[in-house]
Amino acid sequence: MSIKPTLQPEIRERFWRARRVAVLTGSGVSAESGVPTFRGEDGLWRNFRAEELATPHAFQTDPCLVWEWYNWRRELIAPLKPNPAHQMIARFEEHFPQFTLITQNIDGLHQRAGSRNVIELHGNIWRVRCTREGTIAENREVPLSEIPPKCSCGALLRPDVVWFGESLPEGALQRAIEAASQCQIMLVVGTSAVVQPAASLPVIAREHGAAIIEVNLEPTPITRLADQSLLGPAGEILPRFK
């Protein structure tokens, strides 16, 4: 039986005594729910990488292909449930007076686990946006009845997510930077920390004196900044913070 790493006593104490905590998550937090990560082998779809499909150029060139990919991802995510990592992060929110969850994920699983103060840096796969009017609507149709889906105005709809080369939703980055600058602890879970500007948030937190705790299957660029890096599955490691 392997022994899972756990928080060092002094870091555990610093964590539970903190008043201002920020958590940054990436696709690894949803991996144990069954959501494929981006950069692993299982991140591939019909031999395309996310970087080739999640771009404005790909959508302009072939909206059907891009929507087929999102339709596949929506079908895949729809039946999945939050795992113990999502649930533990939702419990942290109840404990700490000031708590901000910053996620790069678009799957909505944090909210389903009960998290409320969530900054979605990359949007949400369950919303669509009109390419002409910019109006945003929830859309949970699985599978989509029409690919590519259209707005009632006749224009193409697009997923309300951030693609490579696009700016983040208005206010989201500012709020995330504010949380990173103010927190006493930043917990970084399941992100390869290679996509900016999210990858800079732990650096900002560190510069402002926060302790960094990382949970990941493997070392990342954050590991060298971290006061403690816990290597293992988030769904097993986070419940051991108790």
The verdict on 220 binding ligand OAD (CB under 6 A) reads yes
Stretch in the footprint of ligand OAD (CB under 6 A) among 2-10, 129-137, 143-151, 189-197: 189-197
Active site residues: 122
C-alpha 180/C-alpha 150 separation (Å) is: 38
Name which of 220 and 229 has its Cβ closer to ligand OAD. Answer: 220
* Contacting ligand OAD within 62-101 (CB under 6 A): none
Check binding of 195 to ligand OAD (CB under 6 A).
yes
Q: What is the number of other CB atoms lying within 10 angstroms of the CB of residue 182?
A: 14
39 binds ligand OAD (CB under 6 A): yes
Check residue 124 for interaction with ligand OAD (CB under 6 A). no
Pairwise CA distance, residues 139 & 176, whole Å? 26
Q: Of 63 and 182, which CB lies nearer to ligand OAD in the complex structure?
A: 63
Q: Which of 33, 37, 111, 124 binds ligand OAD (CB under 6 A)?
A: 37
Helices (H), the chain: 9-17, 28-31, 50-53, 56-61, 63-77, 84-95, 109-113, 172-182, 201-207, 234-237
Among 50, 58, 101, 201, binds ligand OAD (CB under 6 A): 50
Q: Is 80 left (phi over 0), alpha (psi -120 to 50) or beta?
A: beta
Query: Measured between alpha carbons, how far is 240 from 242 in angstroms, rounded to an integer?
Result: 5
Whether the Cβ atoms of residue 109 and residue 86 lie closer than 8 Å to each other: yes
By CB under 6 A, is residue 233 in contact with ligand OAD? yes
Residue 69 CB, shortest distance to ligand OAD, in Å, is 11
CA-CA distance, 227 to 205, in Å (whole number)? 12
What string of H, E and C letters represents the secondary structure of 191-230?
Answer: CCCCCCCHHHHHHHHHHCCCEEEEEECCCCCCCCCCCEEE
* Nearest residue to 27 (alpha-carbon basis) of 149, 168, 125: 125
The footprint of ligand OAD on residues 143-182 (CB under 6 A) is 162, 164
Taking CB under 6 A as the rule, does residue 192 contact ligand OAD? yes
The 7-36 site mask, x for binding ligand OAD (CB under 6 A), equals -------------------xxx--xx----
The residue number whose beta carbon is nearest to ligand OAD equals: 28
Binding-site residue total for ligand OAD (CB under 6 A)?
A: 27
- Interface ranges with ligand OAD (CB under 6 A): 26-28, 31-32, 37-40, 43, 50, 54, 104, 122, 162, 164, 190-192, 195, 215-218, 220, 233-234
